[in-house]
Amino acid sequence: MVLHGLEGSSGSGYVTAILRGAAERGWGATALNFRSCSGEPNRLARSYHSGEIGDALEVMKLLRQRFPGPLYAVGFSLGANVLCRLLEETGDAAPVEAAAAVSAPFALDACCRKIDGPGPFQRLYRERFLRTLKQKARAKLRRFPGAFDRQAMEAAHSIRAFDDAVTAPLHGFRDAAHYYAEASSGPRLHAIQRPTLLLSASDDPMLEAPVIPPGAASNPLLSPVLTEQGGHVGFVSGHWRAPRFWGEAQVLAFLDAFAPAAHPK
């Protein structure tokens, strides 16, 4: 089961790469579209955010009921943080056998500072995110008038301002700072009780150092991998005409180790 990043979807390239790799191994695979990310608006005032684990957990439980065999989960960016928070909250009862978190924003406040920074890459992605987030917010207000302050939303020119105006009030947080503190997975990694790959790059333009919290090394079930290069959900190698998606390959290789065929009776 794959969880996408901010304003991504089940059709995002990194998601389909995992689904394709799973199919090549004969595994069943699916991807969750977070609320409002499937091309259709969801029917409630609430949407999705970096700490919302309910929908993912519900789908995982449904998969366990319907299909025999082990369940693995992979999250990218925002979806990686969601996955880590889910594993932290469920502990020994986690509904997966193994997991992988790629380019996770373990410290949301620091990640927000980076995205809202002055660099050209940050500006490009910030404007892209805000464009689609605001489009969805306007549609939400048409359906739920007064759900949040429209003027504050329209005036938001940073991710933090948008989270203050929209994400926080829609999901019961006092403000963006409260949301970031409650939803960040970094301080709680010790609670994860399933083998989990943490794959990140030192040159990730959306994350501040330390990209992977130093405390991750104290949990023997975590496998932190920090590369010098790879960007944010990048990890592409080879020629541009025939790229190799190194990150996705590492994720699948990690999960291979826990597949039943790897442990014959």
| Catalytic residue IDs | 77, 204, 232
User: How many other β-carbons are positioned within 10 Å of the β-carbon of residue 104?
Assistant: 33
- Nearest CA among 81, 93, 98, 256 for reference residue 182: 81
Contact (CB, 8 A) for 102 and 247: yes
- Nearest CA among 20, 62, 48, 5 for reference residue 234: 5
Strand order in the sheet with 222-227: 31-32, 2-3, 72-76, 98-102, 196-201, 222-227
3-state secondary structure of 223: strand
Q: What is the token pair recorded at 95?
A: 């509904």
